[in-house]
Chain A
């Protein structure tokens, strides 16, 4: 399944995350993570995996997922990625 438009979900507030999804014309799933350096160093790979797992779970291909993290836990990232993708699929 491919998305046809850009969509976002979440918010730039503490404990939340703003997720923006856009079609990836080069193909594949690309995650762009923006978070505090300390979090990126320690948990960057894990956060990327959480995003990729959700994208795979929804069967979406060829997407760029921009993740602007404000200290969100995994469940919030999963929920916001899902909502952004659902909005982009409409």
Chain B
């Protein structure tokens, strides 16, 4: 299983964040082309990330790229362009078994064209909506490329038209269900974001709790969160 204790998420359209992220030494840098990029800047971010991966030194971190939903024009362009820079994994929002299968086929084609080993680029579905939680085992079973699941608790609350509490009781069931599914499949279970970047004590508690659920790592939204996560999920 890949070491994915701390995954620092940044915007794909922000040069400063792209340059600074590896300095915090997370296990992975998640470059977001989806929610952290304005709709009119999707093309610009895609080109920036492609150039960044060929220029900046990410040799000490895994690069994971959140693409736009893979059944949209932007999502397809994201994968087509960025796969050629060989990221460690693509993170796929709004995933279904059909979509994941199609993404896998596109990746196989690109890996052949570029001379990469087949199956080298991983897929991590985002599990955000109730339908994805219900189908988590199907998503995991689609391909051996699926080496992790990212649970997005905020996304689920958005679907319910509400917000997360700091304690997070409302997430007990989905959080547990996803962790068990991942553990049984031997893949990474990546926990939802702790949104208060200034509350390191709260992060500590939340991450310890996630570890008890069976998670192998967690997203960081601030470089200062990385050390705590590396220590807890070690």
Contacts and interface: CB of A to CB of B under 8 A. Distances in A.
Contacts of A87: 43
A72 B43 contact: no
A10 B54 contact: no
Contacts, number: 44
A79 B204 CA distance: 38
A34 B52 CA distance: 23
Contacts of B54: 75
A79 B48 contact: yes
Interface residues of A, number: 18
Given A74-B55, A75-B51, A75-B54, A15 B44 contact: no
Interface residues of B, number: 14
A15 B15 contact: yes
The majority secondary structure among interface residues of chain B is helix
Interface in A34-90: 72-76, 78-80, 82-83, 86-87
Contacts of B47: 79-80, 82-83, 86
Report which residue of B19, B51, B52, B54 has the largest number of chain A beta carbons within 10 angstroms of its beta carbon. Answer: B51
The majority secondary structure among interface residues of chain A is helix
Contacts of A78: 51
Q: Which 8 residue pairs across A and B have the least CB separation, nearest first?
A: A75-B55, A75-B51, A15-B16, A79-B48, A79-B51, A79-B47, A15-B15, A83-B44
Interface of A: 9-10, 13-16, 72-76, 78-80, 82-83, 86-87
